[in-house]
Structure 1
Amino acid sequence: MEIKAIITGCTGMVGEGVLHECLQHPDVKEILVINRKPCGITHPKLKEIIHNNFYDLLPVATQLHGYNAGYFCLGVSSVGMKEDAYAHVTYDLTMEVANTLAALNPEMTFCYVSGSGTDSTGRGRSMWARVKGKTENGLLKLPFRAVFMFRPAYMHPTKGMQHTQKYYKTLSWMYPFFRKFFPQYVSTLAELGQAMINVTIYGYPKKVLEVKDIVAAAAITGK
């Protein structure tokens, strides 16, 4: 299967890591990234659209046809935000992008980076978890070929990336310990990207992938 992917969030840690895996993978033939500012990466596979308003993709919609994978890696921290503001930049923005892509590419497999602890019931005490859960539930209703929710926890960063967060740099030396004793909370950023590619090609029996599922999906070979 040849993948033609749209990736958002490539100027952040997760999106940059997913893009890195896609650039290396032989089955990913074309990549379109949509950013508010240039990602600073050039590659024969890669095209880039600079667009400031993710709440309105109509001005660039003609450039979004013909893709069969969508890897949504755009997100912000909820620290210091009230629920309505966080919902606007999380639920509203994500659904706007996803609805546009579903209308243009109904055969697309859409992958959304959520987070470990996301609350699908909408009744939990954690604000960010409720908003992420609402977003997941909304995405699962859209008419894509397939939709997968990814819930990573600690992700060991990919060496050489420019947007690795300081938190991950500080803890990276403890990765072997975390991986051995807390495997249910630990994956690598590379595994996240590999898992997205693999579920696009091979599918996966669950729509919501926790950390152990991300690691398992990353290891699929198709043999």
Structure 2
Amino acid sequence: MHLILTGATGLVGHAVLQHCLASPAITQLSILSRRDFPLPELPPSANGTKARVIVHGDFTRYDDPGLVESLRGAEGCVWAQGVSSNDVSKEEYVKITHDYPMAAAKAFAPLSDKFNFVYVSGEGADPTEKSFTYFGKIKGRAEAHLLSLPSTSPSLRVYNVRPGFVDPGSNGWHRNESFLRTSVMAPLWRVTMPASLISPTEELAKVLVDLASGDGRAVKEGKGVEAEGRTLRSSVIRRWGEVWGTATEGEAKHTEL
């Protein structure tokens, strides 16, 4: 299966990258990035040619025929690109958090007969935009607008995934400022936050890739599942991770959550 990934140099995106490289089910991975970067060391079982970095400068446009052709046949995308609302202006935050994924979902929908677009949102996202936080309003706006797209693009299936505190664990390939801040706070959050609000990167990556590559049957109505199975809260990520820990990959994909 051919998947698209953004945000591969970030905490969540890198975990997704590692999972895709190790998964035999993912035969091709197209990584859209503003800049080129070296891929991590591949696991022994990985196909050394299946991942490629495509330098893409404008995430609001996908009108380059060469780019479109290189992505044709892809069946899913994990949109892990993001930035803290404290690090950029409000206008830039809207552009990165809302405009970029909206443009991509519209452009990617025709790449195959069925295309899964998985948006990495966050706990606190509010689709009604009544949240007191700017993060909650804009993430919620992106969720709502993405969920409206399949009405005009029948091939598109959208999933919003809301991790809580993203626990990096031993995932320390990159040492950017965001990773360092998260690592410093991780020991405190592990003992003070409910487990349902903590999203270990390995578990989160499995959920994101499973949604991007699956047929949707693993998502059932239940606690933490909203929007008719299209929005998954952090508690679902933990339950999914527990299923993965006790079942084979194929079994986990068809287990009710």
Q: TM-score, with normalisation over the residues of structure 1?
A: 0.89
Q: CA deviation at 1:173?
A: 3.5
Aligned match of 1:10: 8
Q: Does residue 1:191 correspond to 2:198, yes or no?
A: no
Cα shift readout 1:68-105 (whole Å, capped 9, x = no counterpart): 11000001111154533321222111111111111333
Which of residues 92, 97, 105 is equivalent to 2:104?
97
Equivalence for 2:86:
79
Determine which of 115, 137, 153 is the counterpart of 2:164: 153
1:177 aligns with 2:191: yes
Report the equivalent of 1:109: 116
**1:22 equivalent in structure 2:** 20
Say whether 1:32 aligns with 2:37.
no
Q: Per-residue deviation at 1:214?
A: 1.2
- Tell me the CA shift for residue 145 of structure 1: 4.2
Residue 235 of structure 2 corresponds to 212
Structure 2-normalised TM-score?
Answer: 0.78
> Secondary structure of the residue that 2:52 maps to in structure 1?
strand
Q: Which consecutive residues of structure 2, in runs of 5 or more, have no partner in the other structure? A: 41-47, 221-228, 252-257
Q: Does 1:46 align with 2:51?
A: yes
Superposition RMSD in Å: 2.0
Identity, % of aligned positions: 26
Q: CA deviation at 1:106?
A: 4.5
Length, aligned pairs only: 219
User: Which moved further from structure 2: 31-40 or 158-167?
Assistant: 158-167
SS in structure 2 of the partner of residue 142 of structure 1: helix
Q: What is the aligned counterpart of 1:201 among 185, 206, 214?
A: 214
- Deviation at residue 30 of structure 1 after TM alignment: 1.0
